[in-house]
Amino acid sequence: MRRLVITLLVSIPSLVRAQPGLTGATEPEDEPITSYVQPGAIVGLIHANSANSDAAYGALSLEGGHRIGISPVWLHGLVAVGGMGDLDQGSGPNSYSEVVAGVESRTCAFHGIACGVAAIDVGIRHEYLMSDHFDSFNGVIVPRLGLDIGSRKFRVRPAIEYVFGTDGYGAALSLAGAYTW
């Protein structure tokens, strides 16, 4: 009799887990995540060909994206606004802004907790350096590699990007926190 009681006590939790209706709680099915919005920050270095100048910049960014069907491909857009500092002469006030859009692809592991991201963006960037009387609007192509780590609703997204512009080139690091749905 004692063996029967112990067997039943050990078996009950697995029986309840096997039949969700007995737990009183209903878990929603895992619907695919289709959209995200993420505020973040970007820091980088650029070389402006026309001003023959190097500068560092920092900006706050806001990005949003939407998944194409059930594919691993996402469409996204990003707006960034911040400041710059001329590495050669150093003066202010200087400014930096960027608007880009593109596609990204993700591959995930550990049940979606950790993902790798590869992206390519095109857009326009505005750079203003007072010391060089440099005021440039230029087209950019921005390839990016990053990580996408976190829970189903909240993610952390560090990335590295390289910038090919019509008036120069550069590289940047970014860090963002995403809300997904």
Number of domains into which the chain is organized: 1
In a domain? residue 38: yes
Domain that includes residue 161, residue range: 29-180
79 domain-assigned? yes
Q: How far apart are CA 108 and CA 120, in angstroms?
A: 18
Hunting for tokens 């997204």 — which residue is that? 157
Secondary structure (3-state) at 43: strand
Question: Is 21 among the domain residues?
Answer: no
pTM: 0.81
> CA-to-CA distance for 166 and 26, rounded, in angstroms?
55
User: Euclidean distance between the first and final Cα of the chain, in Å?
Assistant: 52
Does 84 fall in a domain? yes
Residue 63 in any domain: the answer is yes
In a domain, 8, yes or no: no
Count of beta carbons in the 10 Å neighbourhood of residue 127: 25
Residue 4 lies in a domain: no
Q: Give pLDDT tens digits along the chain (181 positions).
A: 566 545 544 554 454 444 444 444 444 557 889 999 999 999 999 998 887 888 899 999 999 999 999 999 999 999 999 999 888 776 677 899 999 999 999 999 999 999 999 999 999 999 988 876 778 899 999 999 999 999 999 999 999 999 999 999 999 999 999 999 9
Q: What CATH number has the domain bearing residue 106?
A: 2.40.160.20
102 located within any domain: yes
Task: Give the integer Cα–Cα distance in Å for 124 and 108.
Answer: 30
